[in-house]
Amino acid sequence: MKDGQLTEYAKKEVDERTGESRFFYATACGGGEFEVRDAHVNFPIRLSTRSCGCGKWQISGIPCKHALRVIYDQRLNPIDFVSPFFKSAAYKLTYADHIHPMSDPT
């Protein structure tokens, strides 16, 4: 896993959400704001604040299917919009130190 790459979990989520976003239509509203139409519902997107009207991006740290539609339409790299917690550098730091054994309390 190279630095800057996504963890397996994040990559899987981005791939699945990308597939779901293929049939959406994104409209630029100006000022870095967009609107994505999903069936009969519109979702406001702000790339600068990493937010979508569905709330999934804010909660998960991984762009939702609506945000991915905008990211791809703007020819941007989705990896740049994933939380650093899901990148290989953070993953490696998690396991960088030794994990010390604990004695049995009984």
Which pLDDT tens digit goes with each residue over 32-74? 999 999 989 999 999 999 999 999 999 999 999 999 999 999 9
Q: Is 44 inside a domain boundary?
A: yes
Kindly report, residue by residue over 82-97, the tens digit of the pLDDT.
999 999 888 777 777 7
Verdict on whether the full-model pTM lies above 0.85: no
Q: Mean pLDDT across the stretch 11-31?
A: 95
Q: Is residue 83 part of a domain?
A: yes
The boundaries of the domain holding residue 43 are: 8-94
Residue 5 exposed, middle or buried by CB count within 10 Å (0-12, 13-18, 19+):
middle
Q: From edge to edge, which strands make up the β-sheet containing 33-38? A: 25-30, 33-38, 41-46, 51-52
41 is a domain residue: yes
Task: Tell which wins on pLDDT, 89 or 14.
Answer: 14
Tell me the average pLDDT of the chain.
91
Considering only residues 100 and 66, tell me which one the structure prediction assigns the higher pLDDT.
Answer: 66
Asked whether residue 51 is assigned to any structural domain, the reply reads: yes
The one-letter code for the residue type at 10 is: A
Could you tell me if residue 37 is inside a domain? yes
Domains identified in the chain, total number: 1
Residue 101 lies in a domain: no
